[in-house]
Each structure stands twice: as structure tokens, then as C-alpha cells.
């Protein structure tokens, strides 16, 4: 047996590891399984190019709890390590990796949440173990190696009698980390971090019921068999080519991602790019309501099929955090704070690629099946309107397919709407006035009045529409929005006289004076007799558009 001392500049790194990663101890398992996966895929590559002359077979990674021995095992059938390699990769590379990590991120570690997004590799095992063993046999014809380290910079290394190729990591779980000896806790971690890792991961066995043999009697129990319990799906949909997937495959992947979600997604967007950055993924549009308290944090971020986080803020524009699905990219730097992330050039490109893809998909849905798009509009408008407000590039694209429904159930694009009302809804300043209602019932008589005059009335009721109208008013030339109960309605210049008041001028004057007395002279409400539509409402009371909007903005706290 040989002993040695890991070359350390800080005397003992392990207390530091514990201290800095206190809240994220659980990531050790993800790190060890990532290493096991790397080792397996490296062997696959070496056999494929003929460098390793061994049978690759169907390798597994196994996670095993030894509750009595207080040990946790992670076993792979990958390329293994020779003694030289253990010295190099574990004592030097892994160690310097850990040391570098700690030096570099000592400060950012305080920036909550960053640290768990990426690991410090092999040495993260010491967050939960007081002693770690590596038993490994390389695919090369060399004796197996047994390395032991008790958490100090001292280690021992000796020959082992392991015969199968691959690496077994044994963690002697520390007293304060015994939760990691619980089956339920490990299963939870595997589900969280490793659900879609590319090599099958075995955790225990399960009983499978086999078909009864033909000559079995009715009362005979069906035969059973113990089989490996594989916890992951190594080939998730996003890693496949879009041409190889049917609609049903996307739906079933959605159910795999969100088993508790019973509502089907409205549609999906498959992301797939390898230049100038690498990114794959599938985004889903869920049914959204008008409620702005939409649950975010539903998009999961992966790096090479390893779960990183479900907070993608900073990586996709805010309005897209309302979607669901998966983004997988090795090119997203995770060792930085959110504000840095938003300023990072690569991340900006990724974010604008995703935004562009979403806009393109919406555009093609609109073009290819407008009827269906109209049907879905109510469920997707909040994302689109929010996007148009916050991203100018998205606004440009969405302006072609964003819809403006009328109270009668027609849907116009902005261009179509302009075409429709041109010449008939213009005020004295030659501005096109777009009339809308926000509540069909409450504003019924106003709506009828406007319609009787031959105006189009939109039904715009989403919570941010006020802001979008303002944006449209500043972006487009010579248009303005006015709610049907605003004072605009009588200021429109009509092509022909469609006034339908049945009162005489004298009667009007009297009624006006009476009503104004009731509402008080100082009020900003105006009584409009010209606007009446039927015997049921001989007059309407209007409030200036600007005044009402100001009140609304104060309520929603924005401008």
C-alpha cells in the first residue's frame, strides 16, 4: 500500500467544501453520476473509433444504499482508471478543480442559488462523506486500483482485486448526512437531477408481472420476475430530430415532464441549433388565463441532459418564462450571477434565438391554420401581448399575427383592422380612433350605441392591454384607442349622418342640464345625448379616455 498527500496550498480544503456548499449538499450525487456518465460515454467513443478493443455492451450506472454499513455506492461500467490516472485525475485534476472552484466562487457563493447550478466535481463527495473510496479498473490491461481518502489531504492507494471494468465510488456517509442513506431521499434526487441522463441508471429492482403460461389454471397467480429498476429515460424527446417525432410524442413527453399536469399543452416549439451555440429543447404553450399570477419556473434547464435548474430567468426573456418545457445547452454559463447572465453575449444570442423561434412558430400557426389560431388566441394572448410590450424585436414579428377580437367574435390583425375602419372612425385631427370595450355586459349600451353608428368595437380585456395600446399609439402613426364609454365617440367624423336621437333640441338641453346638476359641475363626466342608441338608453355618460387610463395605470402601478 502506498500513501501520499494531495498537493494543497490551502491546508485542508474539505472543511471549506462543507462550509461553502452548505445549502447544496445534495448536488454531490449529480456530480458523481455525471462522472459515471462521462466515463461510460468516453468508453463508447473509444470503442467506436477502435481505440478500446473491448465489448461496449449495454452499460448501466448503479446507485446502491448499504444502510447498515452507512455507505452509498455509485458504480459504473465505463472506461475506469489506471493507477497513474487516479493519481493524475483524482489527486491532481479533481483537486485543483475543487480548489479553483472555491477560490473563484468564494464570493459568488454568497449570491444565493448560483453554486448549486454547477458542481465542483468529484470532491463534492466530501460534503456528505467522512471517507471516500474509489475502486476502479481501466479498460486497459492493468491491475485495478483502490484509493481511499478520509477527508484530509492524505490518501492511500493500493491494488484491488476488482475484475469488471469500470469504477465504483463508495461514500462513507457522515453522521450529519444520514438522510442520504434513505431510499426515498435518493430516489427524489435521482428524479430531480438524473431523469433524462443518457446512460440508464439502476436503483434497486422492481417486480414485473409476466404473462401467464397457456396451461396455467385460473387460480394460479401470474408469474413475476425481479428486474432492474431503471429510473431515467436516456433518450428524451428533445434529443431527437423533430422529423422523427409525431404530435403524440410531444404530448407524451409533456406528461413525462409534468406528471401532475392534466391539461394538454396548446402547441410545442422544438428548439434545435448547433451554430453559433449549442441548444436543444422543447417549449410548450400551456393554456394561460388572464390571471397575471401565472406560475413561472416551469421551464427546466439542462446541460447535456443533466438537470441544472428550473429558474431560467435571465436566459429567456421574462415573457417566455410563462411557457413550459426544457432547454438544454452546454453553452450557458452558470457560474455567474443573474445580472451578469443578462449582459453575457452568448446568453443574449440564445435568448434572442429562442424569442425568434417562438415568434416564427406563432406566425406559422397563424398562417397555416388561422381558424385554430383564433380559437387559441384567448389562451395565448397574454404571452404575446407581454412579449410585444417588452421586446421590440418580438413586437415587429408579432404585429403581423397579434389579433384584435371584436365584440361580435371576429378577429382582425392590426392591419386588417385599420383597413376596416379607415375613413369611418376618424376624429377631427385625422386620427383613426379604435373603439374597444373591456366588459361586454357592463358596457352593453355603449357598445350598442357605437355599433348603431356603424363603428367596429373590439373586446380587449387582458390585464396588460392598456400598456399595449399605449405602445401601439406611439409606434403606429395617427391612431388612438378609446373605450366605448369615453367621450370620443361623438367626436368622430362620420361619413353620413347616423344620429338617432329622438329628442328635440330643447329636450336635449333640458336633459343635459338636469343630468349635469346631478353629477356636479366639476365632475369630468359628460352627458352625451347624441350617442344614444335606443329608447332604452336615451343618453350616455362618458368619461375622458385619458382620465380613466390614468386611474387604471395608478391601479396597476405601471406606465
Identify the bridge partners of residue 435 per DSSP, sorted by sequence position.
457, 482
Q: Which is nearer to ligand ADP, 39 or 288 (CB)?
A: 39
Of 35-43, 403-411, 486-494, 532-540, which segment contacts ligand ADP by CB under 6 A?
35-43
Q: Which of 91, 148, 167, 309 contacts ligand ADP by CB under 6 A?
A: 167
In whole angstroms, give the CA distance from residue 454 to residue 449.
9
Q: Which is nearer to Mg ion, 35 or 309 (CB)?
A: 35
What is the x/- site pattern for Mg ion, positions 3-42, by CB under 5 A? --------------------------------x-------
Contact between 454 and 500 under an 8 Å Cβ cutoff? The reply is: no
Q: Which is nearer to ligand ADP, 98 or 540 (CB)?
A: 98
Nearest to 86 by CA among 171, 31, 148: 148
Q: Which of 33, 36, 306, 326 contacts ligand ADP by CB under 6 A?
A: 36
90 in contact with ligand ADP (CB under 6 A): yes
CB of 339 to ligand ADP, least distance (A): 26
Q: Which is nearer to ligand ADP, 36 or 301 (CB)?
A: 36
Q: Which is nearer to ligand ADP, 121 or 317 (CB)?
A: 121
How many helices and strands in the chain, by DSSP H and E? 15, 21
Q: At 467, phi and psi to the nearest 5?
A: -70, -40
Q: Which of 59, 78, 80, 121 contacts Mg ion by CB under 5 A?
A: 121
Q: Long-range contacts made by residues 550-556, C-beta under 8 angstroms, separation at least 24?
A: 552/466, 553/466, 556/463, 556/464, 556/466
CB of 31 to ligand ADP, least distance (A): 6
CB neighbourhood size of 223 (10 A): 12
What is the H or E stretch that residue 129 is in? strand 129-137
Q: At 215, phi and psi to the nearest 5?
A: -90, 10
In whole angstroms, give the CA distance from residue 36 to residue 40.
6
CB of 307 to ligand ADP, least distance (A): 16
Sign of CA dihedral 246, 252, 256, 259: positive
In whole angstroms, give the CA distance from residue 265 to residue 263.
7
In whole angstroms, give the CA distance from residue 43 to residue 199.
12
Total number of residues that touch ligand ADP (CB under 6 A): 17
59 in contact with ligand ADP (CB under 6 A): no
In whole angstroms, give the CA distance from residue 129 to residue 73.
12
Q: Which of 24, 76, 99, 456 contacts ligand ADP by CB under 6 A?
A: 76
Contact between 448 and 533 under an 8 Å Cβ cutoff? The reply is: yes
Q: Would you give the distance in Å from CA 21 to the centre of its chain?
A: 26
Cis peptide before 276 (omega within 30 of 0): yes
Q: Which is nearer to ligand ADP, 95 or 319 (CB)?
A: 95
35 in contact with ligand ADP (CB under 6 A): yes
Identify the bridge partners of residue 134 per DSSP, sorted by sequence position.
147, 169
93 in contact with ligand ADP (CB under 6 A): yes
CB of 340 to ligand ADP, least distance (A): 22
Residue numbers 120-149 binding ligand ADP by CB under 6 A: 121-122
CB of 59 to ligand ADP, least distance (A): 12
81 in contact with ligand ADP (CB under 6 A): yes
Taking CA atoms, 10 is separated from 7, 96, 103, in Å, by: 9, 11, 10
CB of 231 to ligand ADP, least distance (A): 18
CB of 316 to Mg ion, least distance (A): 27
CB of 95 to Mg ion, least distance (A): 13
Question: What is the chain's Cα-based Rg?
Answer: 33
Q: Where are the beta strands (DSSP E) in 279-334?
A: 279-285, 299-303, 306-309, 324-328
334 in contact with ligand ADP (CB under 6 A): no
Nearest to 230 by CA among 201, 265, 191, 195: 201
Residue 39 interacts with, from Mg ion, ligand ADP, none (CB under 5-8 Å by kind): ligand ADP
Q: Which of 62, 65, 78, 189 contacts ligand ADP by CB under 6 A?
A: 78
CB of 40 to Mg ion, least distance (A): 13
Q: Which is nearer to ligand ADP, 138 or 351 (CB)?
A: 138
492 in contact with ligand ADP (CB under 6 A): no
Q: Which is nearer to ligand ADP, 35 or 321 (CB)?
A: 35
94 in contact with ligand ADP (CB under 6 A): yes
Residue recorded with cell 396588460: 464
Residues that bind ligand ADP (CB under 6 A): 31, 35-36, 38-39, 76, 78-79, 81, 89-90, 93-94, 97, 121-122, 167
Amino acid at each position: 500500500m502506498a500513501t501520499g498527500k494531495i498537493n494543497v496550498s490551502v491546508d485542508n480544503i474539505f472543511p471549506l467544501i462543507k462550509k461553502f456548499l452548505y445549502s447544496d449538499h445534495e448536488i454531490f450525487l449529480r456530480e458523481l453520476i455525471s462522472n459515471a456518465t462521462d466515463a461510460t460515454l468516453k468508453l463508447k467513443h473509444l470503442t467506436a473509433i477502435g481505440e478500446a478493443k473491448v465489448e461496449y455492451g449495454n452499460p448501466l450506472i448503479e446507485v446502491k444504499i448499504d444502510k447498515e454499513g452507512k455507505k452509498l455506492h455509485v458504480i459504473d461500467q465505463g472506461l475506469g482508471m489506471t493507477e497513474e490516472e487516479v493519481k493524475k485525475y483524482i489527486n491532481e485534476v479533481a483537486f485543483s478543480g475543487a480548489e479553483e472552484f472555491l477560490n473563484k466562487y468564494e464570493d459568488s457563493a454568497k449570491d444565493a442559488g448560483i453554486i448549486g447550478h454547477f458542481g465542483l466535481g468529484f470532491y463534492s463527495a466530501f460534503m456528505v462523506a467522512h471517507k471516500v473510496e474509489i475502486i476502479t479498473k481501466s479498460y486497459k490491461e492493468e491491475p485495478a486500483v483502490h484509493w481511499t481518502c478520509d477527508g484530509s489531504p492524505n490518501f492511500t492507494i493500493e491494488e484491488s482485486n476488482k475484475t469488471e471494468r469500470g469504477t465504483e465510488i463508495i461514500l462513507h456517509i457522515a453522521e450529519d448526512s444520514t438522510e442520504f442513506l434513505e431510499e426515498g431521499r435518493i430516489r427524489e434526487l435521482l428524479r430531480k437531477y438524473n431523469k433524462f441522463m443518457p446512460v440508464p441508471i439502476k436503483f434497486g429492482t422492481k417486480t414485473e408481472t409476466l404473462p401467464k403460461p397457456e396451461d396455467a389454471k385460473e387460480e394460479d397467480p401470474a408469474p413475476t420476475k425481479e428486474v432492474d429498476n431503471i429510473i431515467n429515460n436516456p433518450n428524451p424527446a428533445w434529443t431527437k430530430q423533430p422529423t422523427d417525432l409525431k404530435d403524440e410524442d410531444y404530448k407524451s413527453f409533456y406528461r413525462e415532464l409534468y406528471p401532475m399536469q392534466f391539461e394538454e399543452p396548446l402547441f410545442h416549439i422544438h428548439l434545435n441549433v448547433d451554430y453559433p451555440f449549442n441548444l436543444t429543447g422543447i417549449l410548450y404553450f400551456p393554456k394561460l388565463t388572464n390571471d397575471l399570477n401565472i406560475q413561472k419556473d416551469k421551464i427546466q434547464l439542462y446541460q447535456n441532459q443533466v438537470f441544472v435548474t428550473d429558474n431560467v430567468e435571465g436566459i429567456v426573456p421574462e415573457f417566455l418564462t410563462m411557457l413550459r418545457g426544457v432547454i438544454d445547452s452546454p453553452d450557458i454559463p452558470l457560474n455567474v450571477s443573474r445580472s451578469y447572465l443578462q449582459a453575457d453575449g452568448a446568453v443574449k444570442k440564445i435568448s434572442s434565438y429562442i424569442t425568434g423561434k417562438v415568434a416564427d412558430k406563432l406566425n406559422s400557426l397563424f398562417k397555416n391554420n388561422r381558424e385554430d389560431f383564433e380559437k387559441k388566441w384567448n389562451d395565448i394572448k397574454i404571452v404575446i401581448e407581454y412579449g410585444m410590450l417588452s421586446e421590440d424585436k418580438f413586437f415587429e414579428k408579432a404585429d403581423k399575427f397579434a389579433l384584435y377580437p371584436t365584440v361580435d367574435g371576429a378577429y382582425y390583425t392590426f392591419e386588417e383592422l385599420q383597413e376596416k375602419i379607415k375613413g369611418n372612425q376618424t376624429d377631427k385631427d385625422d386620427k383613426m380612433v379604435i373603439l374597444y370595450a373591456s366588459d361586454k355586459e357592463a358596457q352593453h349600451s355603449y357598445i350598442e350605441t357605437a355599433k348603431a353608428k356603424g363603428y367596429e368595437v373590439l373586446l380587449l380585456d387582458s390585464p396588460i392591454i392598456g400598456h399595449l395600446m399605449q405602445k401601439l399609439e406611439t409606434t403606429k402613426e395617427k391612431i388612438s384607442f378609446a373605450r366605448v364609454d369615453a367621450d370620443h365617440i361623438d367626436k368622430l367624423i362620420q361619413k353620413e349622418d347616423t344620429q338617432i336621437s329622438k329628442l328635440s333640441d330643447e329636450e336635449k338641453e333640458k336633459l343635459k342640464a338636469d343630468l349635469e346638476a346631478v353629477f356636479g359641475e366639476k365632475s369630468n363626466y359628460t352627458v352625451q345625448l347624441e350617442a344614444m342608441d335606443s329608447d332604452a338608453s336615451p343618453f350616455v355618460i362618458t368619461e375622458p379616455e385619458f382620465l380613466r387610463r390614468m386611474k387604471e395605470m395608478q391601479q396597476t402601478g405601471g406606465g
